[in-house]
A = this chain, B = another copy of it.
Amino acid sequence: MKIAIIGGTGPQGQGLALRFAKAGLEVFVGSRDPERAESTVSEVNSRLPIGSSNIVGMSNIDAIRAADEMVIFAVPWSGHNDTLNIIKKELSNKILVDIVVPLSENDPKKVDMPPEGSATEAAQAILGSEIPVVGALHNVSATTLSNLDWDINCDVLVCGNSLDARKKVIELIKKLNVKAYNVGDAQSARCVEALTPILIRLNISKMVPFSHSGIQIWAPDHK
What residues of chain A have their CB less than 8 Å away from a CB belonging to chain B? 109-110, 144, 150, 153-154, 157, 181-184, 187-188, 190-192, 194-195, 197-199, 201-203, 205, 207-222
Q: Which residues from chain B contact A188 at a C-beta distance below 8 Å? A: 194, 198
Known contacts A109-B184, A153-B219, A212-B219; A198/B191 CB under 8 A: yes
What's the minimum C-beta distance from A213 to chain B, rounded to whole angstroms? 4
- Residue of B144, B190, B199 near A220 (CB, 8 A) is B144
**Are B220 and A217 in contact, CB atoms less than 8 angstroms apart?**
no
**Are B210 and A184 in contact, CB atoms less than 8 angstroms apart?**
no
**Closest Cβ neighbor of A181 among chain B residues:** B202
Taking the full assembly, how many copies of this chain does it contain? 2
Q: Which residues from chain B contact A153 at a C-beta distance below 8 Å? A: 218-220
- Residue of B110, B184, B205, B219 near A182 (CB, 8 A) is B205
**Are A154 and B210 in contact, CB atoms less than 8 angstroms apart?**
no
**How many angstroms between the C-alpha atoms of A221 and B220 in the bound complex?**
23
Q: Which 4 A-B residue pairs are closest in the complex by CB-CB distance?
A: A191-B194, A210-B219, A213-B219, A210-B222
**How many angstroms between the C-alpha atoms of A220 and B216 in the bound complex?**
12
**Are A213 and B217 in contact, CB atoms less than 8 angstroms apart?**
yes
